[in-house]
Structure 1
Amino acid sequence: MKVLLINPPHTAIGSRIPDDHLPPLGLLCIGGPLLDAGFNVELLDADLGNLPLAQIVDDTARRQPDVVMLGHSGSSSAHATVVTLCDALKQRLPQVITVYGGVHPTYHWDEILAGCPGIDVIVRGEGEQTAVDLMQALREQRDLRALRGVAFRATRPDGTAEVVDTPAAAMLRCLDDYRVGWELIDHARYTYWGGKRAVVVQFSRGCPYLCNYCGQRGFWTQWRHRDPVKLAREIARLHREHGVELINFADELPTGSRKLWRAFLEALIEENVPVLLVGSTRAGDIVRDADILHLYRRAGVIRFLLGIESYSESTLAHIRKGGSMHEDQQAIQLLRRHGILSMATYVVGFEEERDRDLWRSLRHLLRYDPDQIQLLYVTPHRWTPFYKTAAHRPVIQLDTRRWDYKHQVLATRHMPPWRLFLWFKSMELILQLRPRALYRLLLHPDPVQRQSMRWYSEMGRRVWLREVAEFIFTTKTMTNLQRRGPTLQEFLGPSLEDREYALSKAAPARRTIPLKAA
């Protein structure tokens, strides 16, 4: 059987503005095991060239796959595009089986299958083993009810339709058992950090912390890791055989275990390959590793993103961040001391925010003095505990393709959208144009860091101008929705918090949901 993996085009500004694009790791993680199981697998990365849907359908028809599998890292904001694409594929190729995986469909499986006839099967949770099991069952025409981790439409004996959700898939205990299908991509087409040949990898999956807004933590269910020496060897091979220069870690918390992370750093240093590493972690882990940060830099770490989130200790407690302001500032200082750039993400759009709160946020970030800043809007996911706390808030962005953390989604009680946007863009401008930032941008003594700052600033400038121009044409609609728009629960539905943990050790009973007649 022939499988076509499709990475759909993403409408987010962050995907469309930069010249650089990274390979779709999630689909490559599925592709490797499918290739090893003997299936004919190809990848169509429509996000790379922002292909129009008609061209994607034409390309798919030319390849004549038996099964199309779709997924996207920007899961919720890409969902509307996936639905439209699957409907178009089914009209052109009614015999093709469409399989949809990722974070969003894992939790919204019943609504998707009930309302989207173009999607046949949903893979829930980790897909490496489930995708192979599914393809083998399809090839052998076996009943999908015997599988774990899938949802699909079926016909009852009386002829009525139902949606079937099989027991949750078990967590993958050994991540090294499933290889990434690197041969599915042309490495020369994927770059990051200003044209450097780049890939995305995972050292670990999951996170033990309980941030109530996080849409990823429950998906992976439990923190697990790869063998640190094997990953270092894989990175070295990618550099030597494919010229990969930069590694972007997709982990929520690659540094979760000091012992394992140190083993990885030492193994990569031993490989002696000139690669740069970027990723995200918690400020607390940087403070914890103050005595081994020299190993970070020797291994190639050039930047870590730190989730600062808020200056308010009460807000940090409300969202269960589990950090502290002192720790955040200390982490930034430690990274700078060891020649590693810090990017601080900061979230605005909490319900009770006022002008004074945003003024304090700006002063707070200036005092922290991160090398780079990324402001985000708080964005709800139905399967997180945060959703229930925001269910009453008016939705002012009805296009879910813009639920990408760079567009305001929820109204704030004391501030119209235009004023929050003004604060948002002004804070970005002030932080990027402050004297210290300009010095690092223009005169930093380390040429690698200077190039990194310039690349990020140029990309940020283009995004900033695009966002301002876009907002001018939507501010009236958003203001009207703040007064008369639907609440979050009216717009999306009730909380799905009971589904937060997607993977399981046990096998719960299979669920079936009858479908209403059209």
Structure 2
Amino acid sequence: MKILLVNVPHPAIGSRIPDDHLPPLGLLAIGGPLIDDGHTVSLVDGEFGPMPLAELVARIVAAAPEAVLFGHSGSTSGHPVIAEVSARVAQALPGATIVYGGVFPTYHARDILEAEPHVGAIVRGEGEETARRLMAALAAGRPLGAIPGLVFRDGGAIRETPPAPPIRDLDAYRVGWELIDHARYSYWGGLRAVVVQFSRGCPHPCTYCGQRGFWTRWRHRDPVRFARELARLHREHGVRVINFADENPTVSKKVWRAFLDALIAEDVDLILVGSTRADDIVRDADILPLYKRAGWERFLLGLESTDAATLALIRKGATTTTDREAIRLLRQNGILSMATWVVGFEEERDRDYWRGLRQLLAYDPDQIQMLYVTPHRWTPYFRTVEERQVIQTDRRRWDYKHQVLATRHMPPWRVLLWFKLIEVILQARPKALARLYLNRDPRLSHAMRWYTRMGRRVWRHEVVSWFRDPLVREGPSVARFWGTGQADENALAVGAKRGAA
């Protein structure tokens, strides 16, 4: 089949503000196996520019594909764009099959098919094997009902097959790197870059996270083969920055050390950035020098909150003592720490923000990433906020960088004021400025200056956006806006039980 993968321009601040763009890993992960199956596969990436929607549709139509596959990593806020583009494509190419995959369609599959008759099928959960089977069935004209992991249109009915089993061997499916021009993708201030996954899943039961439903359990690539692949990307394509998309790549200390040792043995000049848990950093205090030798320059630590009650509510399973120690250990080993902090919990008051600011100053992270609490219906956290009022009804703004929920004790303008004030204080305090301008490590200095330049642009954009994008005074409840929560932590199983055919 002639298959076209489409990455739409995403409206989120994180996509629009940076000058750098990273490759769409999810689509490339689907593309590799499809190429190996003999299909003719190509990619259109609308993120560059960004590409106007009319031009994107024209590019898709000109390619004359038999199947158009849409997906995006930030698919909740990206869904309205995909819905618009796919509808235009279906009108211009009535014979093409529209397929949609990603996190948002996985959990909103039935809603999407009911509202958007042009979508032919939705791939739920991990897509590599399901997409292969789906394309093979479409090429042969076979029925789709025997393929796990699908919700599809069958005449006038919507049918849903059982969830696809988790992929046990992640090395069995290769990423289709040949679908991109590596010279177009960069990160870290113009350095050639890719996004990769060493592992999938996370064993921790944080209530705001949907990983326990989407990825099911933690699995990992072969550490030596994975290190070899990263080295090849550097040697053959000039890739300098490796951005890990893993939720928690360091779950197994034994496996993680094997990867570090293998990458050090490859002797390539790479910059590694990604996310992990603070308790894993503390656990690995004795091998953090290996992290640095392998190329690690920054870890994002999901602190979420400095309030013990809030951490208990979201079942983070962390302590403020551990978070502080992880930041200290990273600095001791020449690795930058970026602390995420989430605001907008229902009972917050001025004193909570003041206490949080003081604790963040005590943590002393190198960088700070402020986010707004944003519930998704497939997470256990959604059930705790179903009755909260929605104040942002534009779904394109549900990207963690816009206020979407009302708080009980504070008007939105005061939440914004604290949000921006905390960012300024953390990034402009004398200690932070000294690290920024007097850092003796040129690589870390470059990284911090790049992030600071981008952060200034984001800061201004968020303030302007708050005034430009009106908030509603009498908005619906979360449940009314999104529908009822998917109560089981494994929302894929819930969907299968509800709609299996």
TM category, shorter: over 0.9
Q: Is the 8 A contact 1:354 1:415 kept in 2?
A: yes
Q: Is residue 255–residue 281 contact of structure 1 (8 Å, CA) maintained in 2? A: yes
Matched, 1:351 2:346: yes
- Output the CA distance in 1 between the equivalents of 2:413 and 2:70: 36
Report the residue type matching 2:487 in the other structure: E
Structure 2 distance, partners of 1:68, 1:195, is: 31
Kept in 2: contact 1:125–1:503 (CA 8 A) = no
Aligned to 2:241: 246
1:200-236 per-residue CA deviation (whole Å, 9 max, x = no partner) reads: 0001000000000013342101000000000000000
1:485 counterpart residue number: 475
Residue of structure 2 equivalent to 1:441:
436
- Tell me if 1:141 matches 2:141: yes
Q: Is the 8 A contact 1:124 1:168 kept in 2?
A: yes
Is 1:257 the counterpart of 2:247? The answer is: no
What is the Cα deviation at residue 117 of structure 1? 1.4
Letter in 2 for 1:202: Q
Q: In the alignment, which residue of structure 2 is the partner of 1:18?
A: 18
DSSP-derived class of the 2:408 partner: coil
Task: State the identity %.
Answer: 62
Partners of 2:255 and 2:295 lie apart in 1 by: 17
| 3-state SS in 1 of match to 2:322 | helix
**CA offsets per residue over residues 251-281 of structure 1, 9 Å max, x none?**
0000010000000000000000000100000
Instruction: Quote the residue 2:307 is aligned against.
Output: 312
With over 3 angstroms needed to count, the CA separation of the structure-2 counterparts of 1:193 and 1:503, relative to structure 1, is farther
Are the aligned partners of 1:207 and 1:252 in contact in 2 as well (CA < 8 Å)?
Answer: yes
Q: Give the distance between the partners of 1:370 and 1:38, measured in 2 at CA.
A: 49
For each residue in 1:12-33, what CA deviation from the matched residue of structure 2 results, as whole angstroms up to 9, or x when unmatched? 1110010001000000000000
Match of 1:334 among 329, 338, 345: 329
Q: Which residue of 2 aligns with 1:107?
A: 107
- Aligned partners of 2:14 and 2:245: how far apart in 1? 16
Check whether the contact 1:167–1:509 (CA below 8 A) recurs between aligned residues. no
CA distance in 2, matches of 1:97, 1:32: 20
Give the direction of change, closer, same or farther, for the CA distance of 1:430–1:510 in structure 2 (3 Å limit).
closer
Q: What is the 5 A alignment of 1:425-440?
A: 425-440=420-435
Q: Which residue in the other structure is 2:28 paired with? A: 28
Shift of 1:503: 7.2
Match of 1:402 in 2: 397
Q: Choose the corresponding residue for 1:278, options 262, 265, 273.
A: 273
Once residues 122 and 370 of structure 2 are traced to their aligned partners in structure 1, the CA distance between those partners, rounded to angstroms, is 33
Secondary structure of the 1:33 match is helix
Aligned-partner residue type, residue 172 of structure 1: I
Question: What corresponds to 1:224 in structure 2?
Answer: 219
User: What do residues 154-180 of structure 1 show as CA deviations (whole Å, max 9, x unaligned)?
Assistant: 12xxxxx21100111011000000000
Amino acid at match of 2:500: R
Deviation string, structure 1 residues 327-350 (Cα, Å, up to 9, x no partner): 000000000000000000000000
Pairing 1:86-485 to 2, within 5 Å after superposition: 86-155=86-155, 161-474=156-469, 477-478=470-471, 480-481=472-473, 484-485=474-475
Q: C-alpha offsets along residues 64-111 of structure 1, whole Å, 9 cap, x if unaligned?
A: 100000100001111111111111101111111100000111111111
| TM-score, scaled relative to structure 2 | 0.98
Kept in 1, the 8 Å contact 2:212–2:489? The answer is no
Supply the distance in 1 between the matched residues of 2:134 and 2:487 (Cα, whole angstroms): 27
Alignment of 1:18-57 (within 5 A): 18-57=18-57
Structure 2 distance, partners of 1:58, 1:390, is: 42
Residues 89 and 118, structure 1, Cα contact 8 Å, conserved in 2: no
Return the offset for 1:313: 0.9
2:500 match: 511
2-structure distance, mates of 1:426, 1:217? 34
- Paired with 1:399 and 1:501, the residues of 2 have a C-alpha distance of 24
1:470 shift after superposition? 1.6
Does structure 2 conserve the Cα–Cα contact (< 8 Å) formed by 1:205 and 1:251?
yes
Asked if the contact 1:220/1:501 (under 8 Å) is kept, the reply is no
> Any idea what SS the aligned residue of 1:144 has?
coil
Report if the CA contact (8 A) 1:107-1:499 is conserved.
no
Q: Deviations over 1:273-304 (max 9, x none)?
A: 00010000000000000000000000000000
1:168 match: secondary structure? coil
- Paired AA for residue 390 in structure 1: V
Task: Report the alpha carbon displacement of residue 493 of structure 1 after superposing the two structures with TM.
Answer: 1.1
Displacement of 1:388 after TM fit? 1.0
What CA RMSD, in Å, does the superposition of the two structures yield over aligned residues? 1.3
- Aligned partners of 1:19, 1:238: CA distance in 2, in Å? 22
Partner of 2:58: 58
1:146 is paired with a residue whose SS is: coil
For residues 508 and 141 of structure 1, the distance between their equivalents in structure 2, rounded to whole angstroms, comes to 27
Shift in CA distance, 396/510, structure 1 to aligned 2, threshold 3 Å: closer
Task: Work out the CA distance in 2 between the residues paired with 1:208 and 1:265.
Answer: 21
Is 1:500 aligned to 2:495, yes or no?
Answer: no
Deviation of the 1:501 alpha carbon: 4.4
Which one-letter code corresponds to 1:396 in the other structure?
Answer: I
